[in-house]
Structure 1
Amino acid sequence: MGDVLFNKGLNKASHQSAATRTASATLAELWERTVRSRPSSPAIVSGSEILSYDEVNARANQLARLLLDEGAGPGRLVALALPRSSRMVISVLAAAKAGAAFLPVDVNYPRERISYLLADAAPALLCTVRGAAPKLPAGLRMPQLVLDSARQTATLGALPGTDVTEDERGGPLAVTDLAYVIYTSGSTGRPKGVALTGAGLPALAEAKVAAMRITGDSRVLQFASPSFDAYVTELLATFTAGATLVVPGPDTLAGGPLEKALRDGRISHAVMPPAAVATVSPDAVPDLRVLVVAGEACPAGLVKQWAPGRLLINAYGPTECTVCATMTGPLAPTDEVTIGRPIPGVSVHILDDDLLPVAVGEIGELYLSGAGLARGYLNHPDLTAQLFVANPFGADGERMYRTGDLASVRADGDILFHGRIDDQVELRGFRIELGEVESVLARHPDVAQAVAVLRTAATDGPQLLAYVVPTHGSTPEPGELREHAGRFLPDYMVPSVYATIDAVPLTPSGKTDRAALPEPVRTVRPTVQEPRTPAEKILSHIFRDLFDLVEIDVRSNFFELGGNSILAVDLIQRAQEAGLALLPRTVLDHPTIEKLAAIATLGE
């Protein structure tokens, strides 16, 4: 394993991997090695489509040549505005073969956010498909390729499917080249692009294949949105082992749809956040032999439920360190839940305010070092210098990444996670900078100040709450604020509950005192409007059950009651079982029982 440093620098626990490290190789080289050894094996299954390693390789080579013809290449970015699909996987491989870095763009994000990402990253070109193109902002100043258009389909079909040569690329591939850029929530109110080279990919591939025991017969679920770095893990682990990547449709995977994807895809291996895992029954997915939970703290109850009968691993790692920094071994139902130990090539440092290692059992800030560290933040040298600091435990020029996470080391070397130092939180596996949420809300003309906070209620679970101080004489409505936030933020960052306060409470040092914020008071209507239509009665029953309510009003707002994207999946599934046709976007646009019932289609 990697290194854990602790105890004021006097003791050092070093854990080396028993496996031989994968030789230094780029993503394209790791992929092509498997193509040579398993050309006819299934690489991707997507619905009825089954593509062998040879077939995927040929398509990726054709697209790589098209990308090169359009200006992509080493040191340049290719934006991929594509849904979860086999085409997205092939496009990532094509960018790697061209020597370019890929920038995933979630077409379901607000147009303003997409505009910012593309303006900030300035990719050489953007790839999309006809179904996604209308969701992109107008007036983008970069070449665009609609990959499934008649013109591009014909062009791609005429290009050679053989591996791209150094002459075509203009030079050899190198692990030090930029491999991908992932945008994460930013404390300044703007997302920040984390720029990763390929240097950490071989060690990550080796660690995941070994820990997850992936073989050529494994079937790995492609769960993560391409806009999150866990996507890289899924591709690497699958293709390095010569396994099969099972790609479901682009819908949200939670509850019934997730259970169906796992069962229908005969998934044997998966990497998912605990919040998603909690929506599925272990008994319903007997083929799932190996499960890695990552992205947020893993509850002990989930381990107790899922560890029996399968290999369960807890993993930890920020985007700034090539996806994964630490992993546990197989967890038992009674284990204390740790984040494990460093993977090969990663060193963990748990330090005090003077950058000295803390003693065993003491809590300090977690720093990471090793080949997998990002270059830094794209176009943000000041922020890069602030968080990527000199490594006093390494050679000259080596850096550490300051995670902002609190941790301690147990006597046996396993690491315990103790939460965040700053205002970054994790909700359902997503990292959220509260400052970005606050900045967006503060742009509303009726808001003078805004504070966001993550709170866990006994009945509703974790929720993102927003407190606003109105401008003089104004009274912004929660629905108005939610609509405003949804124009600039992805749905997982839009607060569920909005409360108006006279002033933001402060600590003695003058900082926002989030702990002193009052519990939000829900609006009480003078009269309750009972359900009248069959659809309203069905939805009222579902709402009452979801939120454990005795009394329900058809004007009740799903999000104000504490609804979130995972509960929305549950709502839609229950509605469909009752004969009502609803879509995820419908809940977002029409969040009250009354409005949902008015547009829902009631089957016979």
Structure 2
Amino acid sequence: MTAAHLMKLYFPEVSELTLRTLVELWERTVRKFPHNPAIISEGTTLSYADVNASANRLARVFIEHGAGPEKLVGLALPRSPEMVIGVLATAKAGAAFLPVDAAYPAERTSYIIEDAAPALLCTTDASRAALSPELTVPRLVVDDPRFLDRLRGAEGTDVAPEERTAPLLPDHLAYVIYTSGSTGRPKGVAVTHTGLAALAAAKVAGMAVEPDSRVLQFASPSFDAFLTELLAAFTSGAALIVPTAGTLAADTLEAALLDHRISHAVLPPTAALTVAPRRFPALRTLVVAGEACPPDLVERWAPRVRLLNAYGPTEGTVCATMTGPLSAGDEVTIGRPLPGLEAHVLDDELRQVPVGEIGELFIAGPGLARGYLNRPAMTAERFVANPFGAPGARMFRTGDLASRRSDGQLLFHGRADDQVKLRGFRIELGEVEAVLGRHPQVAQAVAVLRTDHGVPQLAAYAVPVEGAAPTPAELREHMLRSLPDFMVPAVYSTLAALPLSPNGKVDRAALPAPGVLPRTGHREPSTPAEKALCEIFCELFESASIGVDSSFFELGGTSILAIFFIQRAQEAGLDFSPRDVIDNPTIEALAAIAAARSDG
């Protein structure tokens, strides 16, 4: 089905040329379904009319602070109704939203804000405390009583075009999302409104979203899958379900799917594999995206739900290709290009490779991002002339390897460079290596993605400066000061020298399996709780030597693995929260918490 057909099917009253901006997509749905639930979160239900009025009030405040076309509004807000309303308000003001995760290290959030230079930063009192006080960007604190009074005094009707600082056009910026950068700093992908309408139509059609659907808001607002969730709900009249829990995996994900009777969800495969399909009778459609979809996931989910596999870099307006409904036993492809997009599998000289042969995947079409914010050289390197399109047409070099089947569907074959995907997150190994290399005791650094025990994890290798001996704990602490949790290596090894290939480059394939981390004062468990926790640690970290002083994160624990640990501990009669594990990662400390709760 062409983009034009999809547009006529889902937006019959408005032509394809006029229905392009995010605000137009949203306001059309408000007019059609004003009383439908738009946002449901922790017992609170807001109708489309309610959300629209709140977004209009906030948009007018944004405009007063200089927001408008080609300006950015930073949103340092957690997953919440306020974040969603902030996105809509930014669109109504004509500006582009810049998500800022206040849970990231202050060094990273400061860099993003300074690099993007938003006109203002919208935040909460709690998030403001996590941001650097040296930032000079004007801030609006949405839960400040004085700001709430000001907001209540603003007009709630739709923002008229003449109220904006300039006319809003489809090729104006819609959002800027920062992704991992190979140079050691994150880079902002600048995306316009142009591809949003076709993306929305394709998602609504492919996912079979209807006005009575309940769409899970799973993705962090700092990742573009967030847009898929909003568009799928807000262009069909469906309800967007916004849980306030942090990590959604295993028990927390199961609770969100069950308690809210979720009918449609977009999840990374890693998260989908933490729950059992039979538990969710209300779930009708599951889209997996963000990392390669394993065949066993299809075997588990396809018989019970409408299962789709989607693929796309941030540079392609969220999603570039998608399958139809998958069946158990199918070869897992990444589908075909979405309406209005093209996919080319090319060799090193930008020639189409024959069917069945592997080449680099390029995507083209109006949904391509404008480029990288403030990085013209990098933009020119990755967004290249499209030899198969009209004069001036561009295509994006994804860095992914693919092949095309005879039926036109695409098969994914991994990366052609040093970018990896881990639990749905896109990570440039170069950025991880650059941060590790800034440690004063590290002369050389390499990071790789390993699956030595069947669980993918980042591993770091460091060659110390002469006379230095940095410990894994010191290296991890250094990384946590600059990188978000998902980019921090799980294990660290020091080497006398890095293995080299004949051409003098680092031979990543020759790097040894990460060694067992040293344990100081290795002591055996002495209480029932310590013994139970040692057994669980041994299951999770098969190659490690475990004692009561063993630390969950030094052994390679991650936020996803912490969910499994908490589940296993509960089965043993020990109840911990994710915060307990973060603040007290050793067996001894966790056992003490369990003992204190038992005594109480």
Q: Runs of 5+ in structure 2 lacking a partner?
A: none
1:386-405 alignment, distance < 5 Å:
386-405=381-400
What SS does structure 2 have at the residue aligned with 1:365? strand
Partners of 1:422 and 1:60 lie apart in 2 by: 42
C-alpha separation between the residues in 2 aligned to 1:526 and 1:33? 63
Match of 2:287 in 1: 292
- 1:78-89, aligned counterparts within 5 Å? 78-89=73-84
**Is residue 467 from structure 1 mapped to residue 465 from structure 2 by the alignment?**
no
In structure 2, the residue matched to 1:7 is none
How far, CA to CA, are the matches of 2:290 and 2:443 in structure 1? Answer: 33
Q: How much has 1:189 moved relative to structure 2?
A: 0.3
**For 2:325, what is the secondary structure of its paired residue?**
coil
- Match of 1:434? 429
| 1:20 pairs with 2:15 | no
In 1, are the aligned partners of 2:516 and 2:543 still within 8 Å (CA)?
no
Contact 1:222/1:245 (<8 A) preserved: yes
SS at match of 2:168: coil
Alignment match, 1:203: 198
CA RMSD, aligned part only?
1.8
Change (3 A) 1:74 1:527: closer
Q: Output the CA distance in 2 between the equivalents of 1:372 and 1:28.
A: 17
Aligned match for 2:506, one of 512, 521, 533:
512
Which structure ranks higher in relative contact order (CA pairs < 8 Å, sequence separation ≥ 6)? 1
Q: Say whether the 8 Å CA contact 2:63–2:165 is kept in structure 1.
A: no
1:272 aligns with 2:267: yes
Cross-structure match for 1:220: 215
Change (3 A) 1:525 1:143: closer
Q: Could you tell me how far 1:139 is from its partner in structure 2?
A: 1.5
Contact 1:555 1:592 in 2 (8 A): yes
TM-score, normalization by structure 2: 0.95
Comparing 552-561 and 404-413, the one that deviates more? 552-561
Q: Which residue of 2 aligns with 1:6?
A: none
Shift of 1:369: 0.6
Inter-partner Cα distance in structure 2 for 1:543 and 1:526:
17
Deviations 1:85-124 (A, max 9, x none): 0010000000000000000011110000001000100000
Q: Secondary structure of 1:602's partner?
A: helix
Task: Map 1:421-570 onto structure 2 (within 5 A).
Answer: 421-457=416-452, 459-523=453-517, 528-548=522-542, 552-570=546-564
Code of the aligned partner of 1:322: T
Rounded Cα–Cα distance in structure 2 between residues aligned with 1:555 and 1:507 = 39
For 2:119, the aligned partner's letter is A
| Aligned length, in residue pairs | 591
Moved more, 171-180 or 488-497: 171-180
Partner SS for 1:204: helix
TM-score, normalised by the number of residues in structure 1: 0.95
Per the alignment, residue 47 of structure 1 pairs with 42
1:170 positional shift: 3.2
Q: Distance in 2 between matches of 1:480 and 1:295?
A: 31
The C-alpha deviation readout for 1:252-279, integer Å capped at 9, x for no partner, is 0001000000000100000000000000
Q: Aligned partners of 1:522, 1:593: CA distance in 2, in Å?
A: 17
Residue equivalent to 1:572: 566
Return the offset for 1:550.
Answer: 9.7
Q: Which residue of 2 aligns with 1:312?
A: 307
Pairwise CA distance, 1:285: 1.5
User: Structure 1 stretch 555-564 or stretch 111-120: which is displaced more?
Assistant: 555-564
Are 1:257 and 2:226 counterparts?
no
User: Against the structure 1 CA distance between its residues 524 and 473, is the aligned structure 2 distance closer, same or farther, given a 3 Å change threshold?
Assistant: closer
Secondary structure in 2 aligned to 1:132?
Answer: helix
Corresponding residue for residue 244 of structure 1:
239
Question: Offset of 1:219 from its aligned partner?
Answer: 0.3
Q: Report the alpha carbon displacement of residue 32 of structure 1 after superposing the two structures with TM.
A: 0.3
C-alpha separation in 2, matches of 1:92 and 1:450: 39
**Aligned-residue offset at 1:589:** 4.3
Q: Which residue of 2 aligns with 1:9?
A: none
Asked whether 1:58 is paired with 2:53, we answer yes
Alpha-carbon shift at residue 580 of structure 1 (Å): 4.6
The 1-side partners of 2:337 and 2:30 are apart by 30
Identity %: 63
**TM-superposition CA deviations, 1:346-368 (whole Å, max 9, x none):** 10011000100000001000001
Deviations for 1:42-71, whole angstroms, at most 9, x for unmatched residues?
000001100000000000000000101111
SS of the aligned residue for 1:131 comes to: helix
Mapped contact 2:519–2:550 kept (Cα < 8 A): no
Q: Distance in 2 between matches of 1:397 and 1:233?
A: 28
**2: distance between equivalents of 1:83 and 1:103?**
13
SS of 1:270's equivalent? strand
Per the TM alignment, residue 179 of structure 1 is displaced from its structure 2 partner at its CA by 0.3
Distance verdict in 2 for CA 1:152–1:292, change over 3 Å? same
Structure 1 runs not aligned, ≥5 long: 3-14
Distance 1:356 1:16 in 2: 29
Name the SS of the counterpart of 2:125 in structure 1.
coil
One-letter code of the match for 1:516? A
Give the direction of change, closer, same or farther, for the CA distance of 1:129–1:555 in structure 2 (3 Å limit).
same
CA spacing shift, 1:101–1:524, aligned 2, 3 Å: closer
- SS of 2:481's equivalent? helix
